[in-house]
Amino acid sequence: DHTAVLGDTVGRIAYEKAGIIKPDGDAILYMPQSPETIEAMQRVARGQNARLYPADGNNLRVLESSLSGSRLLWRDLPLFLPFAGEHQVRNAAAVLKTIEVLRGKGFAVSDEAVQNGFARAFIPARMEFFPGSPPVLLDGGHNPACAQALAAVVRQYFDGKTVAAVLGILAEKDSHRVLEILAPYFEAVFAVAPDSPRALPAEELAR
């Protein structure tokens, strides 16, 4: 997204994103990342005399997963993550690395607070699952990376089932790439226009 502003290479975009790193600060890096992303982040962190912590998830295990979420074990602490998808487990690893760093700086973040925070987390329309007949998975992702995450969830949990998509995209988004990623996983795609002046017309999306 926003390549007109951020640049057209992964390294350049990573360098611009790394502008959030503050002098003498601490930064948590979602993993995995490409080598050029890691190099750009490390370069900016060194220039800011900041510490960069990759969220490698070494202390995190997935015990069980479903469309309703995942049961995790962080060190010896059981957690419930109410989101579907492997990408959300990696997001959780970044959160838990942040908590480790905060604890190391003297912040009192209790195990109970971590458990409650995870269990109560809610992001509407991001892999939001509505069980029923038929079951519905509502996702507001809007770029190829989000499409990859959605495709992975559909592949994991709906393999062998007949699945249809109701899909609307904004005109400035990479609709060709999103469709290229998602189309193989659906028996039918119903094109619609989002309620936005920036919407791609349904007829154009269908073509």
Greatest CA span in the chain, whole angstroms? 57
Residue 74 CA to residue 25 CA, distance in Å, equals 25
Predicted TM-score (pTM) of the model is: 0.85
What is residue 8's predicted lDDT score, i.e. its pLDDT?
75
- Reported as a single tens digit per residue, the pLDDT across 32-62 is 999 999 999 999 999 999 999 999 999 999 9
All residues at 6 or more sequence positions from 149 whose CB lies less than 8 Å from its CB, including other chains: 85, 86, 87, 127, 141
Question: Can you spell out the DSSP letters for 2-66?
Answer: -HHHH-SSHHHHHHHHGGGPPTT-EEEEESS--HHHHHHHHHHHHHTT-EEEEE--TTEEEEEEE
What is residue 9's predicted lDDT score, i.e. its pLDDT?
87
- Reported as a single tens digit per residue, the pLDDT across 160-198 is 899 999 999 999 999 999 999 999 999 999 999 999 999
Task: Reply yes or no on whether the pLDDT at 2 is more than 60.
Answer: no
What is residue 163's predicted lDDT score, i.e. its pLDDT?
95
What is residue 73's predicted lDDT score, i.e. its pLDDT?
98
User: 3-class DSSP state for residue 74?
Assistant: strand
Provide the residue count of the chain. Answer: 207
Q: Are 12 and 3 spatial neighbours (Cβ–Cβ below 8 Å)?
A: no
Half-sphere exposure of 186 (CA within 13 A, CB side): 18
- Reported as a single tens digit per residue, the pLDDT across 86-109 is 999 999 999 999 999 999 999 999
> Predicted confidence band at 201 (pLDDT cuts at 50, 70, 90)?
very high
- Reported as a single tens digit per residue, the pLDDT across 136-155 is 999 999 899 999 999 999 99
